[in-house]
Amino acid sequence: MFKTNYLAKALALSVFSLSLFLSSSANAELPANAKEGGSLTILSNSAINSLNPAIQSGVATAMPGAQLFSSLLIADDKWQFHPYLADSWEKSADGLTYTFKLNKDALFHDGKPVTSEDVAFSVMTVKENHPFGKSMYANLDKMETPDPHTVVFKFLKPNPALLLEVSTPALLPILPKHIYGVGSIRSNPYNNKPIGSGPFKFADYKPGQYLTLEKFKRFFKGPAHLDKITYVIIKDDNASTLAIQRGDIQYVAYPPFRLSEIERLAKNPKLALTHKGYEGVGALVWLEYNMVKEGPLQNVKVRQAISYAIDRKFITEKLQKGQTKPIDGPIHPSSPFYDKSLNHYDLDLAKANKLLDEAGFPKKSDGTRFQLSLDYIPTNPDLSKNVAEYMRPQLGKIGIKVELRPSPDFPTWARRISNYDYDLNIDPVFNWGDPVIGVARTYMSTNVRKGVVWANMSGYKNPKVDELLTQAAIENSPEKRNALYDEFQKIVNQELPVAWIATYPSNTIYSKKLLNLPEGIWGAFEPFNNVAWSK
């Protein structure tokens, strides 16, 4: 997912000073067959835990967050960056200083201007509260605000991923300091009635049911074409698919349906299916081990045994209808950083049983060794629930009794997993374009953070891994970064804080009457200000 041409540019930018003074364009002109106005209904793939992307990761937060908040830049489908809230930017020759010039017309939804102080506050808020914050801004020295429309990032060491990090509100939403700088950010009442500077503003929110956004008429790039966007939360998949077929729901990204159902919906003449807009995500599905909790999973041979007991070929070819591929490491196979030489942990029950014997867990008279609970994210049944149900008898073959523990909704699952109240857990994780953003946060010991979902939720700690990821985060040479990430992958492939299972299928289902849907690398995590209905 992380393109080679982007890596080359990153290397070039580390040597030469970059100045990009580009004019900020207004909303795209509507095609002749388009019309102004109308509303769009989007299916949320799970209940929304928080509407503030600065403190909460995940699709349910990131999708509306991209409409409520602005990022400094946006990225197209070729990994090129363009002005958004920032009209221009400049990088110093040593790669330690980035200067952004803000759009002077940008306003928050309460009418207050967006200033450099707001950007600086947002960066520090993300650094301290976002699951990826500590890894993204590990080498940030300070933020400077020389005037209301100039903000400067000062780094102690280079950060080759910064432009990616500021190209979607999912990673850096610009918050109004006068709203979110009051009291604790995690208990701020505006987390679920947000004020941002995006093309749509908050209108109404009924937790567990719907979220409604309205066009922000003073949006700095000109008012959006749509009047309203509503995100609906429907727990029943059958009800969701019926609503899509009827046209009551017109857009679904990261659809939480069975893969066979997605294939069926794609044949509907009124609907379209695209795989674009997921290039920046690089999603994987894994089985996570809780290494904080006392028990057998603290033994590496137990973790290896479980990994050898998983038939990834069966999961991907049968359960997931060939729409996924087996994986064996933390970096998405399409990334140039992916190491092809890793141990694949092909199915080997004899080796798994031998490892468990060596680990000191012999089979009892009833054929079991020990018992573990297995949680799974309550979305995408083919990627979570079905795999969990497969795991129960499969791990029973090596003497591990598995008790499934379903969660009724996303907030419940997130609370359990982020507080290390689990044994095993199945869920997807995103690479986010660069390992600095989406990979390091899972394995750095400094990111073991109770209560933060999709941080280091296994509790894995290895000083050598910390060192390698820290070095790779500041290395501008693609070749040297590759070498560092190769060594990192070999270590975690052996120590297995998680057992990687499969790639994540990327799909968006939408009405064919929709025009100008974003197709950059962030897809549904991009602003919808140019989206319109055809006549």
Domain match, 110 and 79 both: yes
**Separation CA 433–CA 2 (nearest Å):** 5
Give the pLDDT score at 534.
96
Residue 178 has pLDDT above 60, yes or no: yes
> Confidence class of residue 9 from pLDDT cuts 50, 70 and 90?
very low
Domain match, 304 and 156 both: no
Does the pTM exceed 0.95? no
pLDDT digits (tens, 9 = 90+) for 195-216: 999 999 999 999 989 999 999 9
User: Residue 310 maps to which CATH number?
Assistant: 3.10.105.10
Give the pLDDT score at 266.
92
Domain match, 497 and 517 both: no
% of the chain beyond a pLDDT of 70: 95
Name the amino acid, one letter, at 293. Answer: K
Residue 533 has pLDDT above 80, yes or no: yes
Rounded mean pLDDT of 284-309? 97
Full residue range of the structural domain in which residue 512 is found: 4-201+507-534
Residue 256 placed within a domain: no
Give the pLDDT score at 28.
64
Residue 21 has pLDDT above 50, yes or no: no
Dihedral over Cα of 344, 349, 350, 351: its sign: positive
Give the pLDDT score at 22.
37
Six-digit token string for 161 = 């991923």
Residue 277 placed within a domain: no
Domain match, 367 and 485 both: yes
User: Residue 57 maps to which CATH number?
Assistant: 3.90.76.10
Domain match, 373 and 430 both: yes
Rounded mean pLDDT of 469-479? 90
Give the pLDDT score at 32.
86
Give the pLDDT score at 379.
84
Give the pLDDT score at 219.
98
**Separation CA 117–CA 247 (nearest Å):** 43
> Confidence class of residue 311 from pLDDT cuts 50, 70 and 90?
very high
Neighbour count for residue 479 (Cβ, 10 Å): 9
376, 406 Cβ separation under 8 angstroms? yes
Name the amino acid, one letter, at 511. Answer: S
pLDDT digits (tens, 9 = 90+) for 476-507: 888 999 999 999 999 999 999 999 999 998 89
Residue 64 placed within a domain: yes
**Separation CA 46–CA 378 (nearest Å):** 8
Sequence-distant (6+) residues with CB within 8 A of 424 are 287, 288, 289, 290, 297, 306, 372, 373, 374, 375, 391, 402
398, 305 Cβ separation under 8 angstroms? yes
Domain match, 336 and 402 both: yes
Six-digit token string for 104 = 């002077």
Domain match, 430 and 511 both: no
What sections of 359-498 are H helices per DSSP? Answer: 385-396, 410-418, 435-438, 440-443, 463-473, 478-495
Q: What is the rounded end-to-end Cα distance, in angstroms, of the chain?
A: 36
Give the pLDDT score at 27.
63
More confident residue, 433 or 145: 145
For tokens 């349906």, the residue is 257
Split into its structural domains, the chain has a count of: 2
Six-digit token string for 61 = 């937060």
In Å, how far are 226, 252, 473 from 517, measured between CA atoms?
12, 12, 33
% of the chain beyond a pLDDT of 90: 82
Residue 41 placed within a domain: yes
